[in-house]
Structure 1
Amino acid sequence: MEDKDIYAKELDVAVRVVHMACSLCRRVQERVVSTRGDQVKSKDDDSPVTVADWSVQAAVSWILSTNFGCENVSIVAEEDVQTLSNSESSGLLAAVVNTVNECLGEAPKYGLQSPKRALNTQEILEAISRCNSTGGRTGRHWVLDPVDGTLGFVRGDQYAVALSLLEEGKVVIGVLGCPNYPMKKEWLKYHHRYYETMSKLSPTSDTWEKGCVMYARRGTGKAWMQPLIYGDQKLEWPNSARLLQVSSINDPALATFCEPVEKANSNHSFTAGLANSMGLKKKPLRVYSMVKYAAIARGDAEIFMKFARAGYKEKIWDHAAGVVIVEEAGGVVTDAGGRPLDFSKGVYLEGLDRGIIVCSGPSLHEKIVGAVYASWDSSNL
């Protein structure tokens, strides 16, 4: 029988640090939306990276290293310091240093330790650089996506902070922070800014209005959700958590399905054909980031399908936290061949069979896998 206290400290620290990172992201997103040019850079593949990406990575790296020891912490994460270290990026680097220290100064609010003094530039660059592990099938590795869905982030819409723990190639802990996730699922189909404007016009006393952290530990059969804290509140954990449960809908005609917004790494025409062949009636819910996993885990949607175009390789940090949360909430996650996702082969989901299918239950999952096999030969993937 599994020890109920296994990974207890790891989960506790992970939930706290993701709450802290979400607070950082909320502040930076406000600045990004109003002064985008000063806060965003493009990477070699033209994807955007922001002050929040580097700042969250540095802050999470520092907290994990402080709690578990630098020599014991292996972190797989998305960002490096190459762009940040360029001479023309001095203003951006200064913004990262200020943001990290502002964030870590609030650590006690989340039950975490602050540095005894402000971290200097070199210490922050070193914290970012420590996140250079490639993971693998042996040992313990933290997997971090500091801002998942950066396009959504810079557009003032949905994004997520994702932290998970791999043990011997298996995901054992997943924590997903979704700062703009509306508590009323109907709002997910609108741009977050529209939701925010409308909620101000008709304010309610609902403290769960938007923003949450979801988390799960492998093997418990339970996934949890907490509201984000605001203002001078302190994190009351785990008292503020409530259980998550996937939807019980198994009729395709009633099901809601999610897919990525971006066409660059997702084939919308193929998923549209699959949806039609399965009898899905509703329009797809196109959402940035791992918020799609959150929607399945919370019962706001039943299906998430992603079929990348040829040449695109899925990274483990885009899926690890979401997978364990959905599975512990009662859902099913596999590749399009019905096999579990393999997180043991480094930074990519190597050997992925065509695409990824996430469902609220086995009945819908079986129908989608069958539809994929029936449709694949005639597709243009």
Structure 2
Amino acid sequence: MRHSLVTFPVVIICVSIALISLRKQFVSFYVGRLFSMSATPTYEKELRVATLAVKRASILTKQLSDSIAQAEQGTITKEDKSPVTIGDFASQAIINHALSANFPQDEIVGEEDSQDLRDNSKLADQVLDLISKVQSETLEYSESLGDLQDKQSVFKSIDLGNSKGGSKGRFWALDPIDGTKGFLRGDQFAVCLALIEDGKVVLGVIGCPNLARNIESNTKQSGTIGGLYSAVKGLGSYYAPLFDSGFTELAQQQRIEMKQHYSPQDLKVVEGVEKGHSSHSTQAAIKAKLGFDPETVAEKTINLDSQVKYCVLASGQADIYLRLPINDVYREKIWDHAAGNILVYEAGGRVGDIQGKPLDFGKGRLLPSQGVIASNNRVFDKVIDAVKSVCNL
């Protein structure tokens, strides 16, 4: 009996010590979790500013797209023969100005510069008029984005896009109107903005003013016109109606994910419209290699301009994106793929070059690789094998 009385306090002491130790571990674990969460960038301000800037630019470009005659009158041609419209200049000025006002230390890799606009007073006046109009229509955005008041400020904002990019620090990649030829046709185009840190895309926002919510084929499309597609590293990819006013938190947007199709009868492919952007004959051979039925392959192929293709892919309405090089020397521009790249990855897909290697956004304004292949995670390696076989890689 005395032995039991002696051991009882010892047991109590041991149990107390064990509870104290567990409590310390519990507190340490959750403090660590809280610290880790607070230390992880959520890019809340970046996403808000990028979203509102893309929305304002999308409203402007949509109005132009709906008035093709006006857009064609405001068109010039750059040395590389691609059409540039007043919409490109106005969109880049709006977005660059918003980024500079909120993140003055960040550089911007933009597609346009202001020289042609400076040399054409009539076009410059048109650009300023467009900007002034959309600013008056979106006054609720001005507190976050700021406003442009004169031509000199427009020129200055456009030229903020002169960064060379690189593998260190952070910068934005902007395509003010991706798919200019589609824009001029009144067809698909996109306003694309991405944030890149140390060569990695961490945030992307794409405004698709003419894109229907549901894309089943080239001829069967339905639902709300105008989509906003956003992705943040580690947080997923999301859809919201583009022309709803203001900024909607990601938690209130619709999460989108790719379907993990694998069998040829279930797969759909998105490709470009312009033959000068990719080898359509090679793409046809790759689809045959993958086992597409020649009787139905046309129905399984969706042709779209711009990074709209990435949005259709990320939302699970297609499975594969093929963009094959048209020659051995051409290199893709980073602003044509940065926002779409993170959108697909965060939706459960992969993006690479024709060798299957991830795209490198840290080597300047151009991607140091050939072609772009994107698909869901499950079928990616199979697609790359087909590309290598057809292209003799």
CA contact (8 A) 2:97 2:145 kept: no
Amino acid at match of 1:60: I
How do 1:76-87 and structure 2 match up within 5 A? 76-86=109-119
Is 1:213 paired with 2:228? Answer: yes
Aligned to 1:43: 78
For the structure 1 residues 239 and 375, does the alpha-carbon distance in structure 2 shift closer, same or farther, using more than 3 Å as the test?
closer
Q: d(CA) in 1 for partners of 2:333 and 2:248? A: 33
Q: Distance in 2 between matches of 1:21 and 1:141?
A: 19
| Equivalent position to 2:273, from 256, 261, 265 | 261
Q: Which has the larger radius of gyration?
A: 2
1:272 equivalent to 2:284? Answer yes
Q: Which residue of 1 aligns with 2:243?
A: 229
Instruction: Provide Cα deviations, 1:219-275, integer angstroms capped at 9, x if missing partner.
Output: 23x111110226xx4444446511001023211222110111111121111110010
Corresponding residue of 1:293:
310
| C-alpha spacing 1:113/1:142, structure 2 compared with 1 (3 Å) | same
Deviations 1:166-220 (A, max 9, x none): 111111111111111111213x5149xxx7xxx8xxxxxxxx5111111111123
- Which residue is 2:126 aligned to? 95
Q: Distance in 2 between matches of 1:85 and 1:336?
A: 40
CA distance in 2, matches of 1:343, 1:114: 26
Equivalent pair of 1:165/1:171 in contact (CA under 8 Å): yes
Equivalent residues in 2 for 1:130-169 (5 A)? 130-169=160-199
C-alpha contact 1:174 1:324 (8 A) present in aligned 2: yes
**Aligned in 2, Cα 1:49/1:298: closer, same or farther, shift over 3 Å?**
same
SS state of the match for residue 357, structure 1? strand
* SS of residue matched to 1:180: strand
Q: Which residue of 2 aligns with 1:65?
A: 100
Cα–Cα, structure 1 residues 247 and 345, in superposed 2: closer, same or farther, change >3 Å? same
In structure 1, the residue matched to 2:336 is 318
Q: Is 1:374 paired with 2:386?
A: no
| Count of aligned pairs | 351
Paired residue secondary structure (1:209) = strand
1:29 aligns with 2:26: no
Within 5 A, what are the aligned runs for 1:166-181? 166-181=196-211
Using the TM superposition, give the Cα deviation of residue 113 of structure 1 relative to its aligned residue in structure 2, in angstroms.
Answer: 3.5
Alpha-carbon separation, structure 2, partners of 1:23 and 1:285: 25
Amino acid at match of 1:82: Q
* Runs of 4+ residues deviating >6 angstroms: none
**How high is the TM-score relative to the length of structure 1?**
0.87
The question of 1:14 aligning with 2:45 is answered no
* Aligned-CA RMSD value: 2.0
Distance change (3 Å), C-alpha of 1:277 and 1:29: same
Contact 1:59 1:103 in 2 (8 A): no
How many angstroms apart in 1 are the aligned matches of 2:334 and 2:56? Answer: 22
Q: Distance in 2 between matches of 1:49 and 1:339?
A: 32
**In structure 2, do the counterparts of structure 1 residues 293 and 345 end up closer, same or farther at CA, with 3 Å as the change threshold?**
same
In structure 2, what residue type is equivalent to 1:226?
A
Cα deviation, residue 358, structure 1: 0.4
- 1:14, distance to aligned residue in structure 2 (A): 0.9
Which residue matches 1:105?
Answer: 136
Q: Is the 8 A contact 2:49 2:145 kept in 1?
A: no
In structure 1, the residue corresponding to 2:259 is in which secondary structure?
coil
Q: Report the counterpart of residue 189 of structure 1 in structure 2.
A: 218
SS in 2 for 1:79: coil
Aligned to 1:331: 349
| Alpha-carbon separation, structure 1, partners of 2:132 and 2:237 | 32
Contact persistence 2:128–2:151 (CA under 8 A): yes
Q: d(CA) in 2 for partners of 1:42 and 1:169?
A: 31
Match of 1:53 in 2: 88
User: Quick one: which amino acid aligns to residue 237 of structure 2?
Assistant: A
Name 1:358's counterpart in structure 2: 374
Unpaired segments ≥5 residues, structure 2? 1-35
The structure in which a higher percent of residues are helix is: 2
Query: 1: CA distance between counterparts of 2:141 and 2:152?
Result: 25
